[in-house]
Each structure stands twice: as C-alpha cells, then as structure tokens.
Amino acid sequence: MKRLHVHLSVSDLDQSIAFYSGLFGSEPGVRKADYARWLIDEPAVNFAISDRACGEPGVSHLGIQAGDDDDLALIEERIAAASGPVENEGETTCCYARSRKSWTADPDGLRWEAFLTHGESETFGAEPDLSRLDESAAQSGGACCDSAA
C-alpha cells in the first residue's frame, strides 16, 4: 500500500504528541525522545513529527511511502517525469527506520521523498545531504524565506 508521508518539525514534542493523538484517535506507533510516528489507514498517511529538524516549526518534508519494490520503481519514474532535481540516497537509516529512498524538490523548494521501509532501527540516522535540491530550487526562484532574500 502506498501512503502519503508528512513530516512536521515541532517546537514541543510532548504537546504535539498529545494534540495529534487526540486528532487521530490513537497514540503514535513509534515514539522516541525526539520523534513520533503514526501509520494511519484512513486516509493512508505516514505522519511523523520531530523536534530535531532545523528551522521553524512547520512542514519538514512530504513524501510517498511505497508498499513494495514495484511501487517504489513507479514513484521514482514519476519523480523523473516531473523533471525536478533528483537525489538518490539509496539504502539508509532515517527516522528510526531502515529504508531505500530518493528525494526531489518542487519548483518552490519543498522537499519530497520516495521511500520503501525494510525495518526499524535503534538510531534516528544521519540527515542526508540535499544541498543539490536546494541549489536547484534557488535557480528556479526558490522559497520566499531563502537566506539570500
């Protein structure tokens, strides 16, 4: 099953967990000191929050979680057809999960990931180097809050 992925940066993890647990009617399936994730079936969403991300609270990134290898291949084909920048991260550990993923950015610099999760991890993992995506967005106009603005 494919799921839309939403990852928000939050300023207070505990308050946000309480809010979203009420909103979704369930506690997060994964909860760590700096991260929480819900896998919601209706609508099919992988919703994550963390207080690790840089910057102000808000959308960290969006994505599409693949259900299997064929789903991931199709999503990656669509990313290529969208003609945005592509950063193939490959096998990685991120957000307490082991996954294979690729990244792109829309014309305004909003980051999207396509990923297939293979299992859990005890560590959050390292932040990927997505500077190439940021450079591409800056060339196309970028977001209004670019540091150069």
Residue 148 lies in a domain: no
Residue 51 lies in a domain: yes
Instruction: Provide the residue range defining the domain that includes 73.
Output: 3-139
CA angle 66, 67, 72 (to 5 degrees): 40
The total number of structural domains that make up the chain: 1
Distance, in Å, from the CA atom of 132 to the CA atom of 111, rounded to the nearest integer, reads 11
Q: What is the pLDDT along the chain (149 residues), one digit of tens a residue?
A: 689 999 999 999 999 999 999 989 999 999 999 999 999 998 899 999 998 766 689 998 999 999 999 999 999 998 888 888 888 888 988 878 889 999 998 888 889 999 999 988 888 777 778 887 877 655 544 333 333 33
Instruction: Give the three-state DSSP class for 65.
Output: strand
What lies within 8 Å, CB to CB, of 85 at 6+ separation is 104, 105, 132, 133, 135, 136, 137
Q: Residue 39's beta-bridge partner residues?
A: 46
Distance, in Å, from the CA atom of 96 to the CA atom of 98, rounded to the nearest integer, reads 7
The predicted pLDDT at position 136 comes to 61
CATH assignment at residue 111: 3.10.180.10
